Amino acid sequence: EARYAHQPEFIQAVKEVAITIAPLYDSHPEYDAFKVFERLVEPDRVMGFRINWENDKGVVQVNRGWRVQFSNALGPYKGGIRFHPTVNQSVLKFLGFEQIFKNALTGLPMGGAKGGSDFDPKGKSDNEIRRFCYAFMRELHPYINKDTDVPAGDIGVSGREISYMFAMYKNLTREYGGVLTGKGVGFGGSLMRTEATGYGAVYFLENMLTAQNERIDGKRVLVSGAGNVSLHAAEKAHMLGGVVVTVSDSQGTLYDGAGLNQEKINWLKAQKAKSQPLADYVAVYGGEWFAGQKPWHIKGDIAIPSATQNEVNEDDAKLMVENGIKYVVEGANMPLTAEAIDHIRLHRVHYAPGKAANAGGVAVSGLEMSQNSVRQYKTFEEIDARLKVIMKNIHDGAAEASEKYHQTDKGYIDYMTGANIVGFKRVADALVAYGILN
Ligand code: NDP
């Protein structure tokens, strides 16, 4: 802990796993003998590089970029690329570390990685984004390949950025392969990749509700964020009968007591795609805009935080409990601080950690990789059916591990411990089998 005191997000992610997998170590002394945990907390390697690019005024800009290859015990390194000014090694190491176990939970052959840059896409023109993506890939390309490391999107990186980066990779290597996922449908992308994380989180939620003999119909859902994960979580929750009353972004929270419908969600998607303010919604559809505020002061049954890490602190968690929230499903990666998690669990709020609940995105990325390999594509319905099965398997695996290791308390399932145990065990067993390599 002392060695990485300057990487607080990374420490937070490692601590959570370390504490929750303790019951597993009692029955698996070989994990100790092979120093599995000590090996997993150090990435295989971290590549850092400088990115020079030119803005619209012809002025050279300099940014920093990284790729953290954490573990390829179960398959090629796999994990998204984030463009956001807050990106640093601590953030990428926490994301890469979590990604190892998330990818293991999907049951698909993928290792864990993460990458990105402190480049801020806000306010940049399309030409600037394109020049930056080309420059980023010029630096990244020696480290990735369809069989070694396959990046995807994340905050600030969606279909447009993936397309630019894919073009540059193809140009530099003369190779047309599945080196990036989240590509456009029509040039190697999988149907449903865009929707997969948000939809998958709601499928996970459905399984949690079923385990408590409840249904989503009529329940009030608070969503934070207004990006890829948030708006698709909102869309699926609405499709299944939930009443989604909030979305938010870095400027504030939008509240619509009548609930979002498809037309409103389409409007929100278009508005964010144009980088226009969420607040404009009120003039079109009514509702209320809370500038500079998060959604948690509003009453609801279910919260799906889907913006960014540590967006929900202990005070927010207290508000959630006071406002009637019974389920928290993490659409984002590590959106709750450790104190916030402790608080909601103390009040028996059912809690699904991100590495389980938001694994649908990377799962469909895994399906994109296999479709690229065989050069045949599946229908939307086929992928959706696979996604539902994968999310149910993750849910059931975590619930069974919670029960097996005596963490389930009178019907309250410890998904955090269960998911960490299942994911960790898959990776640990591979590392033991490999001996001291990897
Ligand atoms: P997007 O860039 O599409 O959207 C991010 C949203 O969160 C935006 O509305 C943004 O607001 C808001 N946001 C970002 N940072 C902050 C901040 N510091 N404070 C307040 N709001 C913020 O990203 P995604 O939807 O792809 O990702 C969201 C989360 O989900 C991340 O934690 C990501 O790692 C995780 N995730 C994403 C997956 C995917 O498939 N995309 C897969 C699994 C996890 P604004 O528009 O104002 O910047």
Active-site choice (57, 93, 114, 388) = 114
Would you identify the CATH topology of the domain 195-357? Answer: Rossmann fold (3.40.50)
pLDDT tens digits for 66-88?
Answer: 999 999 999 999 999 999 999 99
Instruction: Give 409's DSSP letter.
Output: B
Nearest to 112 by CA among 125, 102, 122: 102
Does the global pTM surpass 0.95?
yes
pLDDT tens digits for 366-381?
Answer: 999 999 999 999 999 9
pLDDT tens digits for 125-166?
Answer: 999 999 999 999 999 999 999 999 999 999 999 999 999 999
Q: What is the pLDDT averaged over residues 363-368? A: 98
Helices (H) and strands (E) in the chain, counts: 17, 12
Q: pLDDT above 70 covers what percent of the chain?
A: 100
**What is the pLDDT, as a whole number, of residue 3?**
86
Residue with tokens 């278009």: 270
Residue with tokens 């909030």: 246
402 lines ligand 1 (CB under 6 A): no
307 lines ligand 1 (CB under 6 A): yes
**What is the pLDDT, as a whole number, of residue 438?**
78
Would you identify the CATH topology of the domain 41-180? Answer: Rossmann fold (3.40.50)
Beta bridge partners of 303: 222, 328
Q: 302-305 and 327-329 as β-strands: parallel, antiparallel, unpaired?
A: parallel
What span, in angstroms and rounded, lies between the C-alpha atoms of 255 and 238? Answer: 15
What span, in angstroms and rounded, lies between the C-alpha atoms of 282 and 119? Answer: 31
The residue ranges of every structural domain in the chain are 41-180, 195-357
Q: Where are the beta strands (DSSP E) in 12-162?
A: 45-54, 60-71, 77-83, 112-117, 149-152
Q: Do 41-180 and 195-357 come out as alike in CATH topology?
A: yes
> pLDDT confidence of 319, banded at 50, 70, 90?
very high
CA 358 to ligand 1 center in whole angstroms: 12
pLDDT tens digits for 392-413?
Answer: 999 999 999 999 999 999 999 9
**What is the pLDDT, as a whole number, of residue 94?**
97
CA 129 to ligand 1 center in whole angstroms: 18
**What is the pLDDT, as a whole number, of residue 260?**
98
**What is the pLDDT, as a whole number, of residue 180?**
98
User: Is the confidence at residue 1, as pLDDT, over 90?
Assistant: no
The protein residue whose alpha carbon is closest to atom 10 in ligand 1 is 249
